[in-house]
Chain A
Amino acid sequence: MKNFKTIILSNQEISPGYYRMKILAPGYNELARPGQFVMFRVQRSLPPLLRRPFGIFRAGFLPADCESMPPKEFIEIIYKVVGSGTEIMQGLHHGDPVELLGPLGSGFDPGTPEEEKILVGGGIGLAPLYMLAEKMVEKSKVRLLMGGRSRDDIITVTEFERLGVETYVSTEDGSLGEEGLVTRVLERKLDKYPKASVFACGPMPMIEAVQKICLERGTSLQVSLEALMACGVGACLGCVVKGEGHTEVDPRYLCTCTSGPVFKAEELNWNKAAINGVESGGCK
């Protein structure tokens, strides 16, 4: 983990409101583990002030500019435009300077190869699941359940397919794939593959619903959470979530940035409103 100044290689809209940014990132193929994130410095002048956290979608190599040079390493992030920082990001181009702090946080534990794996992604929450799928498909059967409000929220599914992941799409308005919530698909898949372990990332209501389903069935679950972050390195204590056994008198806060963003479901306190209030419209 370190901070370095780098440049953008490309930045493209992949679906209305969703962008994919490729950033020059030496060392990341070696360093980055599935589920980790970077603190991205949008630009060097104000605003915005604070860095923004983004999951690492994928790391890779580009051919070198000339023969004597090593291939260029990059990472990709996928982001949704939701506010001032991401609005600035959508206007960035090839060659623009940015800073990356990372890779940060705990990653997913891929578990044992013989188990079946079910990935559940809600909208932009899909981002940190790609590297995990890449890692797991070699040895395990991986299925992706991708949900969103409408077809615009269904992104990069074909890339998962290219990895050899079996994909199931659902949208709330039925504009793509099955109509309804992704959790309904999850229940069906768990009926069929009761021994599968589940990896989920998406909006909090989805994560909570997935947790309920997995708890009832005793299914192993890892979730990747989002929280408002200032530092990303465990120093500000702004990003905490309530851990298992948390009570008012015996509080157990965990930093999303260092203990997470990936947690085993049993590490967390799932009482309503126990989780960081991003969904209630908090800000940085």
Chain B
Amino acid sequence: MNKSEKNILQPKMAVEVAGLRLKNPVMPASGTFGYGEEYAPYIDLNQLGAVVTKGMSLNPKAGNNTPRICETVSGMLNAIGLQNVGVDAFIKNKMAYLQQYETPVIVNFFGSTQDEYGEVAARLDDVPGVAALEMNISCPNVKHGGIIFGTDPEAAFAAVSLVRKRTNKPLIVKLTPNVTDIQVTARAAEDAGADALSLINTLTGMAVDVKTRKPRLANTIGGLSGPAIRPIAVRLVHQVVQAVQVPVIGIGGISRAMDALEFLIVGAKAVQVGTANFVDPNAMATILAGLEEFCRDEGIADINDLIGSLEL
């Protein structure tokens, strides 16, 4: 195709993920956009492909001691400890606000046992306005010595299978990058019935204050996010796209349209923007505009033509 011959005024941006039709492929990453409301003064939530909420657990969770965050080179460490209001309070107090928007709401959730995962999913199952569930499996399994569900393919398979039985909503499983072979966990989640996979969650990291000789985070270890992790995330998305049939959502260090494009080109159907929201609350709108501009410049009529167009 000779791109200069085509004159594209309004490239098509809609994508389909896990049976959801999104008006564009850009959405926030869980935990970086609150419950949506926090950013509504700065960005039109109706512009977004979807809204992804802070991770929910069965009971309210207090989170970790402070300091909880720390800037590192081109990134940040966080150990928030999944502080949240609990799934029932979320349904009661936070959903109504989000329902005034036409944007699909994806609710991120987690558990510390397999049953807890199942129970949270079940409670969200008949909640109107919840378009899909995103299951965060980067959590310790308290019944099994605290091994992270997402690093143990069998535990991941079992937990996802159970959640699958307890919800009819589209199920996105969010993978941790802290594994030796992500293709194994990706396949386990797919085999257990995930409709889509999202990745990456944060990479574990640590920073030390050399003067006090203390860790910079009260929790000692935290999750690294931001531009620093992008090349790792792109690589992992590329590998997962090769390994599974279900759609993949790319996450990790996206702050500009060019960054999002890398993920789309390696085959992600959509992207999530995390840390960049903190830097610029309007980041997702800028990314979206940049994607459209790129499509126009390159003569791409439909963003889907770009997805998975990696030349090897």
Q: Which of A234, A235, A276 contacts B66 (CB 8 A)?
A: A276
Across the A-B interface, give the 6 residue pairs with the lowest CB-CB distance, nearest first: A251-B62, A284-B71, A282-B67, A235-B34, A238-B69, A235-B38
Tell me, in angstroms, the Cα distance from A93 to B83 when the chains sit together.
Answer: 41
B281 in complex: contacting residue of A233, A251, A280, A284, CB < 8 Å: A233
* Cross-interface CB contact of B67 among A101, A234, A276, cutoff 8 Å: A276
Contacts A238-B69, A283-B67, A283-B71 known; A49 to B214 CB distance under 8 Å?
no
Contacts of A283 in B (CB 8 A): 67, 70-71, 207, 209, 216
Residues B42 and A235 in contact, CB atoms below 8 Å apart: no
Our pick among A49, A235, A238 for the contact of B75 (Cβ within 8 Å) is A49
11 contacts between A and B (CB under 8 A): A3-B282, A46-B227, A49-B75, A51-B278, A51-B279, A101-B281, A231-B32, A251-B63, A253-B62, A278-B67, A282-B70
- Contact present for B67 and A228 (CB under 8 Å): yes
Given contacts A236-B31, A280-B212, contact A50 B67 (CB under 8 A): no
**Given that A1-B41, A2-B42 are contacting pairs, would A49 and B83 also be in contact in the complex, using a CB cutoff of 8 Å?**
no
Q: Which of B69, B209, B218 contacts A230 (CB 8 A)?
A: B69
Residues of A within 8 A of B278 (CB): 50-51, 230-232, 235-236
A50 touches B31 (CB 8 A): no
- Whether a CB of chain A sits under 8 angstroms from the CB of B23 is no
In the bound complex, how far is the Cα of B54 from the Cα of A50, in angstroms?
A: 20
Tell me the nearest residue of chain A to B37, going by C-beta.
A234
Chain A residues whose C-beta falls within 8 Å of the C-beta of B70 in the assembled complex: 228, 282-284
Within the assembled complex, what's the spacing in Å between the Cα atoms of A251 and B62? Answer: 6
Is A277 part of the contact surface with B, judged by Cβ < 8 Å?
yes
Binding site for A on B (CB under 8 A): 31-34, 38-39, 41-42, 54, 62-63, 65-71, 73-76, 78, 80, 83, 207, 209, 211-212, 214, 216-218, 226-227, 275, 277-282
In the complex formed, the residue of A with least CB distance to B70 is A283
Q: Which of A228, A240, A241, A281 contacts B63 (CB 8 A)?
A: A240
Asked if A240 and B68 sit within 8 Å, CB to CB, the answer is yes
Q: In the complex the two chains form, what is the Cα distance from A55 to B38 in whole Å?
A: 20
A238 nearest CB neighbor, chain B only? B69
The residue from A50, A228, A253, A281 contacting B209, defined by CB atoms under 8 A apart:
A281
Closest-CB distance, A94 to chain B (whole angstroms): 24
Interface string of A42-71 (1 = CB under 8 A from B): 000011111100000000000000000000
User: Within 8 Å CB of B32, what residues of A?
Assistant: 231, 235-236
Partner of B83 from A101, A227, A237, A282 at Cβ < 8 Å: A237
Residue of A nearest to B274 (CB): A236
CB distance from A6 to the nearest CB of B (A): 14
Query: A41-B280, A228-B68 known; 15 other A-B pairs, CB under 8 Å?
Result: A3-B280, A3-B281, A49-B74, A49-B76, A229-B69, A230-B275, A231-B277, A235-B39, A236-B278, A237-B63, A277-B66, A281-B211, A281-B212, A281-B214, A283-B67
Task: Give the Cβ gap from B243 to chain A, nearest Cβ, in Å.
Answer: 32
| Cα(A72)–Cα(B31), bound, Å | 38
**Distance (whole angstroms) from the CB of B25 to the closest CB of chain A:** 21
- A34 to B211, alpha carbons, bound, how many Å? 35
Q: Give B240 Cβ to nearest chain A Cβ, in Å.
A: 26
Choose from B78, B217, B227, B282 the contact partner of A49 (Cβ within 8 Å): B227
A195 to B282, CA, bound (A): 47
